[in-house]
Amino acid sequence: MKKTFATIMLLLAVASGLFAADKFYADDPLLKEPSPRDAAKVKNRKLNDYYDLLENSFQKRGERNEKGVMIRARDVNTLDEPMDGAWYTHRHYWHAMTDEQLQLGAGGQNPPSQEGQWTIVSAKSEGVTPGFVIVDAKNDKYYVKFDPMKYPELATGAEMISARLFHALGYHVPDYYLIHFTPQKLVLGKDVVFHDAEGRKRDMTQSDLDQLLAKVPRAGDGSYRAIVSLQIQGKPVGPYKYFGVRGDDPNDIVPHEHRRELRGLDIFAAWLQHNDSRSINSLDTLVQENGVTYVRHHLMDFGSTLGSLSTWAKTARYGGEYYLDFKPAPKQIFTLGLAVPYWAHAQYPGYPAIGGFEAATFRPDEWVPDYPNAAFQNRLPDDDFWAAKQVMAFTNQQIRAIVKVAQFSDPRAEQYMAETLIARRDKIGKAFLGKVLPLDLFAVENGQLTFHDLAREHGLDVKGELHITWASFDNKTSQSTPVPGAADFRVPATQGGEVSYLAAHLWRGDDTAKAITVYLRSTGGPTEVVGIDRTW
């Protein structure tokens, strides 16, 4: 009997050694998504604005992080980062962009041609501010939007600034330009289909055009200021949702509520007061690369960011409560309104170009978009940290440079906008960086483990010194064996075969809950950082 038992145990040991899943594969960490499968069969889908509001307000869609259930972001590599690809691209935080690059945004090299006229090929009259689609002399198509009559520079300024920031933060966004033109620059194309104020489709006339232009502010010299966006590359197939996956897209394998860049978008949206960060303001397009058609996911329409509501200035509620927020209602009802919500204390500067944007009452961890968002609600401290570190990467000078693209005519408005973004940035750093041990950008240089201590770099309170222990790490069994005597940042010598792993465990002061394990791999050549595990 004993012999039999021993045989079984031996077999088990051999089997587990032979067949256990490696923690790290040879191609880890994957910095870029593997080449996509062909997704040419993906169909266009529509999303109704009101349905989206009701569905997200009254139903708990997607798989949620709830009490006792913690689902960490699933689209990340072993360095805990999303990969470059259809959703996201590592930009400013990892490869510091110059002021000029930040100002250029997603393109910056292809404004509408000044040669010849711009031909209007379609238009909309719905809403208070009109919009056109124009084709320029290069035959490029642009979407044109204006400011509301009472708030010159508000919506166009907000969209210019936010599009630059979202691009630098890694998202796919349209290529926006600010333009100034006189009515003579526009010419009405043939058979332009137009939805008039009564919702009827008919051919657009010059009178319609004149009436649309009469609804937007005009400068003293008779020119109009507008923002144009170059048509997004690829065939539009509708917006993405913030939960679930697109059923017909083979590359869309991680439920959106578990995507790091969608969870982290909540923090960026809070920074930029992008309460309109909902599905309707996203767009998927079918693009072709290397002969393969795949779906690329974009953010768009930033006219309701910062202090702008596209057609009006934001009121204080935006960011403070959901549109259909029943939670605060009983308190408001039974206190007869004497319990004033924190956001109602906001004070705005009164500049038309700024609208309702401020930093004094901004509470990053309580900020909410217009209605519940499954990905935003699934945020975990590591998602918060991922986003906050990127927000904090913008220096004061860089923020000022980006604000310049709004071309505010009032220098006080420009200064206020920059200072408000800086103050909100700092609040985000304070609120979220410390939710985990804020060390990042690990590398091995000259035999030392190096990293950025973001808490110290950004002047946050830190308690205690950093501690480190080292262990050799078995990639097959995930077993760690302490390396005796190794307690500083020098990488200990490794023993083992051709490929060996070390694990460095770091924490600060007495707070051992917030810790990081950094995995190093040595393959005979230079030692590289191959993985990061954060706990909190």
Q: How far is CA 102 from CA 105, 112, 162, 386, 398, in A?
A: 5, 20, 11, 20, 8
Q: Does 324 bind another protein (CB under 8 A)?
A: yes
**Contact partners, residue 245, CB within 8 Å, separation at least 6:** 252, 253, 254, 255, 256
- We find the least distance from the C-beta atom of residue 144 to another protein, in angstroms, to be 21
Applying CB under 8 A, among 317, 404, 467, 476 the residue interacting with another protein is 317
CB of 197 to another protein, least distance (A): 6
Residue choice 346, 428, 431, 454 for contact with another protein (CB under 8 A): 346
By the rule CB under 8 A, 336 interacts with another protein: yes
Min dist CB 320 to another protein, Å, is 10
Upstream peptide bond of 369 is cis (omega within 30 degrees of 0)? no
Nearer to another protein, 339 or 513 (CB): 339
Q: What are residue 507's DSSP bridge partners? A: 467, 515
Minimum separation from the CB atom of position 503 to another protein (A): 19
Strand locations in 51-165, DSSP E? 118-124, 131-135, 141-146
The letter for the amino acid at 180 is H
If DSSP codes are grouped into helix, strand and coil, which group holds residue 511? Answer: strand
How many residues bind another protein (CB under 8 A)? The answer is: 68
According to DSSP, the residues that pair with 346 across neighbouring strands are none
Residues 39-78 that bind another protein (CB under 8 A): 41, 43, 45-51, 77-78
CB of 56: closest distance to another protein in angstroms? 13
462 binds another protein (CB under 8 A): no
Q: Does 248 bind another protein (CB under 8 A)?
A: yes
Helical (H) or strand (E) element with 456: helix 454-457
Binding part of the chain for another protein, among 3-11, 167-175, 374-382, 418-426 by CB under 8 A, reads 3-11
Give min distance, CB of 401 to another protein, in A. Answer: 31
State the distance between the two ends of the chain, measured CA to CA, in whole angstroms. Answer: 47
Residue 290 within binding range of another protein, rule CB under 8 A: no
Residue 267 contacts residue 317 (beta carbons within 8 Å):
no
Quick one: which of 2, 95, 200, 463 contacts another protein (CB under 8 A)?
200
Contact between 4 and another protein (CB under 8 A)? Answer: yes
Instruction: In whole angstroms, give the CA distance from residue 151 to residue 29.
Output: 48
Residues in the chain: 536
User: 274-295 as b/e, with b when 16 or more CB fall inside 10 Å?
Assistant: bbbbbbbbbbbbbbeeeeebbb
Q: Are 420 and 158 in contact (CB under 8 A)?
A: no
Task: Report the nearest approach of another protein to the CB of residue 374 (Å).
Answer: 16
Q: What angle do CA 266, 270, 273 make, to 5 degrees?
A: 125
> Is 211 among the residues that bind another protein (CB under 8 A)?
yes
124 near another protein, judged by CB under 8 A: no
6, 10, 13, 15: which one binds another protein (CB under 8 A): 15
Q: What is d(CA 212, CA 408) in angstroms, rounded to the nearest whole number?
A: 24
| Closest CB 128 distance from another protein, rounded Å | 11
Q: Closest approach of Cβ 206 to another protein, in Å? A: 12
Query: Is residue 323 near another protein by the rule CB under 8 A?
Result: yes
26-45 positions binding another protein, by CB under 8 A: 26-28, 30, 33-34, 36-37, 41, 43, 45
Distances 525 to 448, 474, 501, 521, 528 between C-alpha atoms, Å: 15, 19, 13, 10, 9
* Residues at the site binding another protein, with contacts judged by CB under 8 A: 1, 4, 8, 11-12, 15, 19-21, 25-28, 30, 33-34, 36-37, 41, 43, 45-51, 77-78, 126, 195, 197-200, 207, 211, 214, 245-253, 315-317, 321-326, 328-329, 332-333, 336-337, 340-341, 343-346
